[in-house]
Amino acid sequence: MDNTLTFENFRDEWQKEVIQGSPTRNELSRRFIRKLVSQWRDLGETTDDILFEPDGDDSGIDLIYFEKNESHENSGDTLYLFQSKFGSRSINPEVIFKDGQKVVSEIEVAINTGATRTFPKKLQVIIEEINSSQFSHITFVIATSNPLTKTEIKSIDDLRSIGQRRLGTRFEIQAISLETIYLSLIDETANKTPRLQIPIKVNVAPSGDNLLVGSVTLPDLFEFMKTYRAQTGDLDLLYEKNVRRFLGIRGRINKQIRTTLQETPSQFGLYNNGITIVVKDFQPDKQKVYVLNDPYIVNGCQTTRTIWEVFSQKIDIHQNGADAEILAWKEDAKNGIVIVKIVRVGSTGEELLQNITRYTNSQNAVSEKDFITLDKDFQILQDEMASKYDFFLEIQRGGWDSQQTLQNLNVQTRQFVKHANAFDLLKVYGAGWLRQAGIAVGRNRAFSPGGAIYRNIMKGDEDDRAFNSDDLYAAYVLEQASIEFEFGRAAKKPSRRITKFLFYLVTIDLLRDVFIRSNIPISNSKITEGILKLQKPEHKDAFGDLLESSIAVIDEYLTQGEEDSVFNEPEFKKRFNGDLNGYLKWDDLGLPEASPVFINLLAIHKRTMGRGQPSPRSEIELALK
């Protein structure tokens, strides 16, 4: 039976939950764009970073998302404006161009005047942020089910040139499709057929069988990147094997790269360390041209993306201009080069690829903590979850759709039912076990490899037990409880829309109190054991008592008029001026000095759990022992 994950198979499986239940046209578009954006930008399905989803306006925008760059203190942020083209097998290029021009015009009016004609009113807040220069990029994204044709891509390229002439290089336009997600998921090591074949003009010499060393001119490198984006629709895929993405043009090092490119591009090769490209294979095509199979830039992300920024501005924006200064710059740039190494790792060279990435980045400002993402930790955890809990641990957004497709294609494939995303579970664990609910709501970086909370989680606890699959499964149990009680953006009760992570904190805090009052030894690993005991069918009532007590805390704390509500917190009034969203994202949320009302409310409910015959506390204690 066929067990090959083709794009068509993946697309059909991916779209099932989007089209189920005969949704309206607007609802269909909303489901599609939310799921696609969540996987493309690696967001939780209930992320608060999606600012809003317009409904019924005439803006041409279906979703707006603000991505804060947390990877570098001097980096800029990106405002994404998404337009959904769901379901169409092909799109009239004239429609793409017309709709895109409308969006570009609205952005230009918004930036220049602070007002909009057809954009939703909520965008006024975003306009103020744009005009205060807190965003370094504005990216308009056309999202489709199927990859665009060459003609459709050409219309987007034309639109990009117009947009950047009017708005500068802070404006970008991209096209993404389900193929973008598919290409980021397929396992190259198991697929010997190259997914991409990209030509590059280089001046190189072989050093052994698997290494080419030499140089590439700046214009030829730019053309290579343009070809890559034309084939994939997403330039970021070129850096999938790197330990970090583009840091933006406002960092000190990238400013120096940019200055050299703008002022003396012919001298670029003298000042830059060069780049490393790993490929599945390479073949000479014609004089000085090699075809690279499945290329990844594993060292030189900052270099190549800054080249991309500058060349987009100088060449694409002024492609038809005859300005003497631009023409002189283009001539000078032809003499600029980048030192390049092209390494063939083959179809089974994952370990070699990781070592190359590690060692070629070691001279840069990337600390050892950033290389955790290259280790096998979560591959091992994925295997442990499968064997111990019959559970599919999704390491990358979209992985579950891929797994479901394979399960449907071949009944002999392991048939998982339970699944969750690893990053989401790390945030559950951090919010509950480590009491970091505010950071879990407000920042992803702390939970990513290299982040402070990630390091605390992975180092284990006072029992000297490393973080393991039991911890992940206990976090999954709590996540399922939050779904059962309808937490998230679509919550029916307002008190549960943005308190999911606070719910995890409260639940574990109440459980920890039972441990303490019952004289049971306590640690994070013991808390994990407690959750795993309570979730067993025979302890259903005791677990229900714990969850109901937690829900009571959340609902009372978020109810205006209650004595112990968030609205009476001193810092909520003083520091946040009544901004509930900001308060619940506060790093100090839940600390005694920062949230005294919350601490008092918790204490009341801890005492209440000891009342009754039998009391909820005694039922939980019995289950634990």
Give the tens place of pLDDT for each residue, 237-288. Answer: 888 664 334 334 444 456 778 888 888 999 998 888 889 998 989 999 888 9
Q: Which residues of 408-446 are buried (b: 16+ CB within 10 A; e: fewer)?
A: ebeeeeeebeeebbbbbbbbbbbbbbbbbbbbbbbbbbb
Residue 51: phi, psi to the nearest 5?
-70, -50
* pLDDT, mean of residues 178-201: 74
Residues with Cβ within 8 Å of residue 16, at least 6 apart in sequence: none
β-pairing, 211-217 vs 203-206, is antiparallel
CB 67, CB 38: distance < 8 Å: no
Half-sphere exposure of 30 (CA within 13 A, CB side): 11
% the chain with pLDDT above 90: 41
Query: What is the rounded distance in angstroms from the CA atom of residue 519 to the CA atom of residue 529?
Result: 16
* pLDDT, mean of residues 129-140: 67
Q: How confident is the model at residue 102 (pLDDT cuts 50, 70, 90)?
A: confident
Mean pLDDT of the chain: 82
Residues with Cβ within 8 Å of residue 118, at least 6 apart in sequence: 57, 58, 59, 60, 102, 106
Taking only the tens place, the pLDDT of each residue in 433-482 is 999 999 998 778 788 777 889 889 988 766 668 899 999 999 999 999 99
Q: Return the pLDDT at 51.
A: 56
Q: Return the pLDDT at 591.
A: 93
Q: Return the pLDDT at 359.
A: 45
Taking only the tens place, the pLDDT of each residue in 374-421 is 446 788 899 999 999 999 998 877 889 989 998 988 888 899 999 999
Query: What is the rounded distance in angstroms from the CA atom of residue 479 to the CA atom of residue 142?
Result: 32
CB 400, CB 394: distance < 8 Å: yes
The more confident residue out of 304 and 322 is: 304
* pLDDT, mean of residues 503-518: 97
Q: Return the pLDDT at 48.
A: 55
- Structure-block tokens of residue 257: 């790269």
Q: How confident is the model at residue 67 (pLDDT cuts 50, 70, 90)?
A: confident
Query: What is the rounded distance in angstroms from the CA atom of residue 277 to the CA atom of residue 299?
Result: 7
Sequence ranges of the chain with CATH classification 3.40.91: 1-184
Tracing tokens 């973080």 back to the chain, one arrives at 467
CATH code of domain 1-184: 3.40.91
Residue 76: phi, psi to the nearest 5?
-95, 175
Strand partners, 337: 217
Q: How confident is the model at residue 574 (pLDDT cuts 50, 70, 90)?
A: very high
* pLDDT, mean of residues 488-515: 92
Neighbours of 218 (CB within 10 A): 22
* pLDDT, mean of residues 160-165: 84
Which strands form 171-177's sheet, in the order they lie side by side?
50-52, 63-67, 77-85, 135-144, 171-177
Closest among 307, 296, 283 to 356, alpha carbons compared: 296
